[in-house]
Structure 1
Amino acid sequence: MVKREVLAIIPARGGSKGIPRKNVRLFAGHPLIAYSIAAARQSELVTRVIVSTDDEEIARVARDYGAETPFLRPAELAQDQTLDLPVFQHALRWLEEQEGYQPELVVQLRPTSPVRPPALVDEAVQILLAHPEAHSVRGVVPAGQNPHKMWRIDPQNGQMIPLLQVPGLEEPYNAPRQVLPPVYWQTGHIDVIRPEVIRKGSMSGQVILPVMVDPAYTVDIDTPRDWARSEWLVWYSELEIVYPGHRRRPLPEKVDLVVFDFDGVLTDNRVWVDEEGHEMVAANRSDSLGVAYLRRSGLKMVVLSTETNPVVAARCRKMQIPVVQGVWDKAGELPRIMAEFNAAPERTIYVGNDVNDVPCFSLVGCAVAVADAQPAARRAADIVLSRNGGHGAVRELLDILMQRMK
């Protein structure tokens, strides 16, 4: 069989206003755009992945995650009101003129809908391949609100006018939802389009087929609130999604032990040194309160630190957490600590922020990194918290564990 040439194009301009720099902002541990790149690269049917952007930083990040950026989009095609159509026409024209490249199908993957089922891209492509009469396939979900119960208001007399009529049903707006025609809402997860349709001036054509998306995956990130809700879905909903890194592990149902790194987790990683060499660090009182709550609930906690410093011992003594200091080989020491606390590895959580914590991640049931952790730690972690080390990251995790205990 000759493999079909299926091109995925991910549009990502640099001038986002609602969430500045959103395409390269970290979303659940990876740049937002990385999720759409991963959806294309993990597809069995997509043969090429291109990011169309006007922004050098976005292009660099895209290449880091395996996409091509053969051109930078002209500035006039990266404005607030720029439509998808001229962006895709430009990409197809550039590829044909510069490379002689002509795909059979084009897949659009919008970065603002990062939460996708693993098989969605291939399912949509297969639908269009199986229906030569169709011009495109579009992702849809059942609509949350039925437009047959929606109204317009006459600007002249202020009276309400039904938005839609239903043949044979005199007052659809008074009818039970079950008897109304089903309606669907288009999502930003995926579109698959024949290139000739785009060249002729449309992003969909006239014959459009649906690919059904589970409403649980409905995400469209336009505001900071959308961002927070969507990250929660990635970390805690246990949905099966396309993820740019390794396969994420959820928090254990039962937790025997939480192991904390000290510097950069319980502190903000800064140190103050006086003229006599005495050190001070900055910590967060809310972390201490969270530790106290969980300790009273019976949760075991321990600090594992590379540093041998009185300030580490003093802070842990204040928080009443056991501490193991001066350990360069944390991964070598961690199994002994879990055995000492009678903690099963699969029910142990490790919280770190730096490259020397990464070898510990694979030894426990769930690895957690603070928001400002080193990139290697963020990529290797199962969960990346929204708060920085020393600024409530520990409390954020402990609040989640307390809620689960309830």
Structure 2
Amino acid sequence: MSVVAIIPARGGSKGVPGKNLRRVGGVPLIVRAVGSARSSALVDRVIVTTDDAAIAAAAHSAGAEVVDRPAQLSGDEASSESALLHVLDGLDEEPDIVVFLQATSPFIASAEIDEAIERVRGGREDVVFSAVETYAFLWRISDDGADGVGHDASVRPRRQDREPYYRETGAFYVLRGSGFRKAGFRFFGRIGVTIVDERAAIEIDTVDELEIANALAPIVDADLAGQSIEADAVVTDFDGVHTDDRVLVGSDGAEFVTANRSDGLGVRLLREAGIPVLILSTEANPVVASRAAKLKVEVMQGIDDKAAALTTWALERGLALDRIAYLGNDVNDLGCLSIVGWPIAVPGAVPEVIAAARVVLASPGGYGAVRELAERVLQSQRSSVQEKWEEPWLSQSVTTR
């Protein structure tokens, strides 16, 4: 059966302006949604429908197809179903199964999507949606006071004596294509529920929920530890990254720092692999220039607006910001962290930087952080080369057999 994942992502949002491009765990929401869909073992195509050029660019960069969403389907009153049907109308063939994903749910597990697809594909249900189990007592408030919803306020059974309810998370809905086309709405036929991890069940509609999601990201994304970093360039701060953020000051005012030889080897390996490296520092200090010269890398120091300097540097070299890894540790790195595809933090970074990071390294600044970053970038490069080498080899072996 053919399976198409569709992600509606409007540019307009009143509660959280620019919501679908806001970051959770250092990754834009739309990119997280595309990544979840592409990681599915059963999804054949991933399509983002949007009226916003920036969202379209981010989605395309993340590997999704993009459909321009017309203005009449992009207003506050337009339903998600209308956007899904518009995409389906433009396809050459109607898919057997439609996976409707919402970018406002940042923690969508591909394994849970696949479970739902299997259930629809196997004919058990026509619709399967993500939900969490709840035993909460709900109340309705009116002018006459509060009334229990779904329960008698005068009866208080124990949790183990009650049947649970199931709350939609809004993360995904897996729909039988023909049934959805006929109904025009996400619920029809036999409906089932995939119960998902409650920690990952947040849906972002407010700034407070965005902040909560960022606090949860290091926990929910913990399985990403050790993953390769798909970057074409590496940019780092200096103090607290190449050093442990301490400085020795002599009686004549001269400053001394300690550097890690392992970090130096990591930088050399990056250079030998043809990966540009830049040290970008707010401080203007001879020790920074001296270390950069030793490492044979570019350095820019005494920079007040590091994000602007990084943007110019990338543009001059034809580098896409979403393919740059930036390693920082303090608040003056937040601007750079907010514009690159791989915002990285050392474990001792300030809380704001930890919250903005897509990856928090295991090695502290001055004790192998740069080396760890280098190895993870090189790991991605090696994987890419291996895939390019294996594909024609496999194709040739099948042909000659």
Instruction: Please say whether Structure 1 and Structure 2 have the same fold, judged by a TM-score greater than 0.5.
Output: yes
Shift of 1:380: 3.8
Work out whether 1:371 is the aligned partner of 2:368: no
Deviations 1:53-73 (A, max 9, x none): 11122112111111001x311
**Cα distance, 1:27 vs. partner?**
3.2
CA distance in structure 1 between the aligned counterparts of 2:282 and 2:48, rounded to whole angstroms: 48
* Matched residue, 1:212: 195
Deviation at 1:196, TM superposition (A): 1.9
Of the three residues 81, 95, 116, the one matched with 1:85 is 81
Matched residue type, 1:217: A
1:231/1:330 CA distance change after superposition, 3 Å:
farther
Return the match for 1:142 from 112, 133, 136. 133
2:174 to 186, 192, 204: 192
Aligned with residue 128 of structure 1, among 120, 129, 149? 120
Q: Is 1:15 the equivalent of 2:1? A: no
Distance 2:226 2:79 in 1: 28
Does the 8 Å contact 2:137/2:149 carry over to 1?
Answer: no
Aligned-residue offset at 1:222: 1.3
- Larger-gyration structure (1/2): 1
CA contact (8 A) 2:345 2:353 kept: no
CA distance in 2: counterparts of 1:32 and 1:234, whole angstroms:
12
Partner amino acid, structure 1, of 2:49 = S
Query: 1:114, CA displacement in angstroms?
Result: 1.1
2:284 aligned with 1:326: no
Offset at residue 212 of structure 1 (A): 1.0
**Aligned 1:244-283 pairs, distance under 5 A:** 246=229, 261-262=238-239
Aligned match of 2:271: none
1:164 correspondence with 2:150: yes
Per-residue deviation at 1:185?
Answer: 0.6
SS of the equivalent of 2:169 reads strand
2:336 match: secondary structure: coil
Q: CA deviation at 1:78?
A: 0.9
Aligned residues: 299
The answer as to 2:143 corresponding to 1:180 is no
State the partner residue of 1:31: 28
Q: Deviations over 1:154-197 (max 9, x none)?
A: x5xx26544225xxxx7664222321211111102211001222
Equivalent residue letter for 1:163 = V
Higher helix fraction: Structure 1 or Structure 2? 2
**Residues 384, 90 of structure 1: alpha-carbon distance in 2 compared, 3 angstrom cutoff:** farther
What secondary structure is seen at the aligned counterpart in 2 of 1:328? Answer: helix
User: Cα 1:197–1:191, aligned 2, differ >3 Å: closer, same or farther?
Assistant: same
* TM-score, scaled to structure 2: 0.62
Whether contact under 8 Å (2:334, 2:353) holds in the other structure is no
User: Once structures 1 and 2 are overlaid, which stretch shifts more, 225-234 or 211-220?
Assistant: 225-234
Return the letter of the residue paired with 1:26.
R
Partner Cα separation in structure 1 for residue 124 and residue 106 of structure 2: 30
Any stretches of 5+ residues in structure 2 without a counterpart? 231-235, 248-256, 261-277, 298-306, 315-325, 361-401
Q: TM-score normalised to the size of structure 1?
A: 0.61
Compared CA separation, residues 331 and 41, structure 1 to 2 (3 A): farther
Specify which of 216, 224, 228 is matched with residue 233 of structure 1.
216
Whether contact under 8 Å (1:39, 1:242) holds in the other structure is no
Task: Supply the RMSD in Å over aligned alpha carbons.
Answer: 4.4
Among residues 76, 89, 101, which one is paired with 1:109 in the alignment? 101
**Helix, strand or coil at the partner of 1:63:** helix
Letter matched to residue 46 of structure 2: V
Query: Is the contact made by 1:50 and 1:67 (CA closer than 8 Å) also made in structure 2?
Result: yes
Aligned-residue offset at 1:394: 4.9
For residue 312 of structure 1, what is the amino acid of its counterpart? N
Decide whether aligned partners of structure 1 residues 190 and 215 sit closer, same or farther in structure 2, where only a CA change above 3 A counts. same
Q: 1:94 corresponds to which residue?
A: 90
Q: 3-state DSSP class of the match of 2:6?
A: strand
Identity %: 28
1:6 aligns with one of 3, 11, 15? 3
Which secondary structure does the structure 2 equivalent of 1:106 belong to?
strand
Q: Distance in 1 between matches of 2:292 and 2:14?
A: 45
User: What amino acid does structure 1 have at the position aligned with 2:160?
Assistant: Q
Aligned to 2:285: 312
Match of 1:338 in 2: none
Match of 2:384 in 1: none
* Aligned-residue offset at 1:44: 1.0
AA aligned to 2:56 is A
